Amino acid sequence: MRTCDFCGKTAEEAQTLSWTTSVENGRRRTYCDDCSRTHLRAIEGKLDAAWW
């Protein structure tokens, strides 16, 4: 079971294949499809989630 680090959405491992992962301050963070689409520019720009 995985949880989106931004909105809290949960899903089984097999359903999270399209989710986005990033490393912020040495910590692995996972984002669901919806949060990934909404914050795509911030993710690509390597901004920490605190700035979103």
Q: Tokens for 41?
A: 């520019």
* Residues 11/2, Cβ–Cβ less than 8 Å: yes
Instruction: For 17, list phi and psi in degrees, rounded to 5.
Output: -60, -30
Give the model confidence (pLDDT) of 11-43 as tens digits: 999 899 999 998 888 899 999 999 999 988 887
pTM of the complete model beyond 0.85: no
In the chain, how many domains are there? 1
Pairing between β-strand 20-24 and β-strand 10-11 as defined by DSSP bridges: unpaired
Which residues span the domain enclosing 38? 2-51
Mean pLDDT of 44-48: 76
pLDDT for 52 equals 63
Tokens 């040495």 appear where? 26
